Amino acid sequence: MKEIKDTAVEVRLPSRLGFEKIAMGTAASVAKLMGFPDDRIEDLKTAVAEACINAIEHANRLDENLSIGVILSATDDSLEVKVVDEGEGVNKRPANPDIDRKMHGEEGTRGMGMFLIEALVDEAEWVKGSKGKNSYVRLVIRLGKDGK
């Protein structure tokens, strides 16, 4: 822990689907160094991937001239991940997915990213940037009292 606490790691990625896996791998490496157990690392990987996909697809609209920033900040007992895009931010959080409605074609099969993020991390917030740019999602996972 001492080697990594109070440090930040930043990755900048093009707005191209698939590059979220670089952010996933980086987040997993930092979480592993901090001592997170494997199941929490898997939760974090999915949450980070979904945050990056939202930034690439919805905020930056797959424009490869725009990039996303992934900033990982480690403290004694938590890891914060900010995924910054060049969009104006989330205006309205979509409703949680309803499998019955999806199965009956009453809602789209997609639209699960924000739900998964919120369900898999200890804290998630979406912050609108100023002047319609630099919005971000902030995720936090915490180590338990027993270091798990």
Partner 1 sequence: METGTKTTVDEIIADSGKAVSVLRFTGDISSVSRDNVLSAYGKLAKDRPVLLDFSRVDYINSSGIALVIQMMMEANKSGQEICAFGLTPHFQKVFTMVGITKYAKLYPDEPSAKAAV
Per CB under 8 A, the list member of 23, 27, 34, 49 interacting with partner 1 is: 49
Which distant-in-sequence residues (6+ apart) come within 8 Å of 24 by Cβ?
A: 45, 48, 49, 52
Per CB under 8 A, the list member of 6, 39, 106, 146 interacting with partner 1 is: 39
Q: Which two tokens stand for residue 56?
A: 């690439």
Stretch that binds partner 1, among 2-10, 37-45, 81-89, 128-136 (CB under 8 A): 37-45
Adjacent-strand bridge partners of 83: 70, 137
Give the max Cα distance, the chain: 52
Minimum CB distance to partner 1, residue 143 (Å): 18
Minimum CB distance to partner 1, residue 46 (Å): 7
Say whether residue 126 binds partner 1 (CB under 8 A).
Answer: no
> What does 18-50 look like in DSSP terms, one character per residue?
TTHHHHHHHHHHHHHHHT--HHHHHHHHHHHHH
Minimum CB distance to partner 1, residue 95 (Å): 13
Three-state DSSP state, 80: strand
Q: Which of residues 76-115 bind partner 1 (CB under 8 A)?
A: 97-100, 102-103, 105, 108-113, 115
Please give the order of strands across the beta sheet that includes 7-14.
7-14, 67-74, 78-84, 136-142, 123-127
Minimum CB distance to partner 1, residue 28 (Å): 12
Question: Is the Cα torsion angle 34, 112, 88, 86 positive or negative in sign?
Answer: positive
Stretch that binds partner 1, among 36-44, 69-77, 82-90, 125-133 (CB under 8 A): 36-44
Q: Which residues bind partner 1 (CB under 8 A)?
A: 16-22, 39, 42-43, 46, 49-50, 53, 97-100, 102-103, 105, 108-113, 115-116, 119-120
